[in-house]
Structure 1
Amino acid sequence: MGAMYCVAQTTSGPARETKLVIRPYAADDNASLTEIWYQASRLSHGFLPDDLLLRQRREIAEKYLPQTETWVAVGENGPVGFIGLMDTFIGGLFVAPEAQGSGIGGRLLGHAFDLKRKLALEVYAANHRAVAFYRRHGFCGVRRRETDDNGLPHPLILMQKPCPTGQRATPRPSA
């Protein structure tokens, strides 16, 4: 697979073009991707208890990364993000906090969409930045549930691309 390029906006200067390669996961990626997952999760999911994140971190390393179709975004200094697919469902999209906002997440989404032509995912409703990101990339909300997979009161929104005919809004909480 050839190199892909994205424009990275730095906080100290103008945008610059950086090399970004998207390639399949390799076992050697496990430690760095698990750390990217953990740091990005702590930033985006601050409402989740620390013990839950630590337990999920082990599951990411032992089960999720080795058992899903995972694509890794690799920059000049190594992995900077990844997307994990279970058929057409995105199990996770994570970009290292220091690389967020530079187009890497969009590149990973584009790569996955090019492969599958239809995608779905669940995102925490409280993660407003992620919900807005997916909307900018053509996803729409199709269903909402009020508790997460752990039974915690953290609503999740099921989003998909392409949107069902006539569906454009994220569902609101039920009364």
Structure 2
Amino acid sequence: MEQHQATENEYNQLVEIWERSVKQTHDFLDIEDFKTIRKELPTYFPHLDVCVWTEGDKIIGFSGVDGNKLEMLFLDPLHIGKGYGKQVMTNLLKMKDIQLIDVNEQNQSAKAFYHVMGFEEYARSEVDDAGRPYPILHLQRSNKEK
């Protein structure tokens, strides 16, 4: 698996991957909130270290990192459940020393995935960063995993 820094020309593709991924994994998300987040998503990219993860000429997904915090990780649903997420996280842990992740409490598969990857809940917020009614779990890398 290879990765490269996202370019502005790829932003629309990344939003499309986000949209397909969220439709599969975030069934709790209100349609109006989905539309709002979709519109706002490209405005976050310039403020993050966004990597596009590929295999051959296929885009597997993308990640967005701020310091040692993983702000976003989305895989194209065609590639979910095939070990790519673990490969991406393993690379990010080595390259970026990821220590913090926020995850939607209702996203059971993501919670389980990050737990397997060595992250534990240390706090909970009733609402997301925009004040929407989606509880967020704040995760940190377990000491035993370091």
Q: Is the pair's TM-score, using the shorter chain for normalization, greater than 0.5?
A: yes
- Counterpart check, 1:30 vs 2:11: yes
Report which of the two has the higher share of helix: 2
Paired residues of 2:70 and 2:98 also in contact (CA < 8 A): no
Provide the rounded CA distance (Å) in 2 between the counterparts of 1:131 and 1:67: 25
Matching residue's letter, 1:43: Q
Matching residue's letter, 1:25: A
Larger of the two Rg values belongs to structure: 1
Give TM-score scaled by structure 1 length.
0.75
Paired residues of 2:20 and 2:77 also in contact (CA < 8 A): yes
- Matched residue count: 144
Alignment correspondent of 1:104: 84
Provide the rounded CA distance (Å) in 1 between the counterparts of 2:77 and 2:93: 23
Alignment correspondent of 1:151: 131
What is the Cα deviation at residue 117 of structure 1?
A: 2.2
Provide the rounded CA distance (Å) in 1 between the counterparts of 2:41 and 2:52: 14
1:29 aligned counterpart, secondary structure: helix
Paired residues of 1:146 and 1:153 also in contact (CA < 8 A): yes
1:19-168 superposed matches below 5 A? 20-61=1-42, 63-161=43-141, 163-164=142-143
What is the Cα deviation at residue 164 of structure 1?
A: 4.9
Matching residue's letter, 1:159: L
Provide the rounded CA distance (Å) in 2 between the counterparts of 1:109 and 1:127: 17
Higher relative contact order (CA 8 A, sep 6+): 2
Alignment correspondent of 1:11: none
Matching residue's letter, 1:42: K
Provide the rounded CA distance (Å) in 2 between the counterparts of 1:151 and 1:52: 11
**What are structure 1's unaligned runs of at least 5 residues?**
1-19, 166-175
What is the Cα deviation at residue 99 of structure 1?
A: 0.6
**What are structure 2's unaligned runs of at least 5 residues?**
none
Matching residue's letter, 2:84: I
Provide the rounded CA distance (Å) in 1 between the counterparts of 2:9 and 2:114: 29
Matching residue's letter, 2:132: L
Provide the rounded CA distance (Å) in 1 between the counterparts of 2:16 and 2:97: 29
Alignment correspondent of 1:169: none
Q: Percent identity?
A: 26
Provide the rounded CA distance (Å) in 1 between the counterparts of 2:14 and 2:55: 13
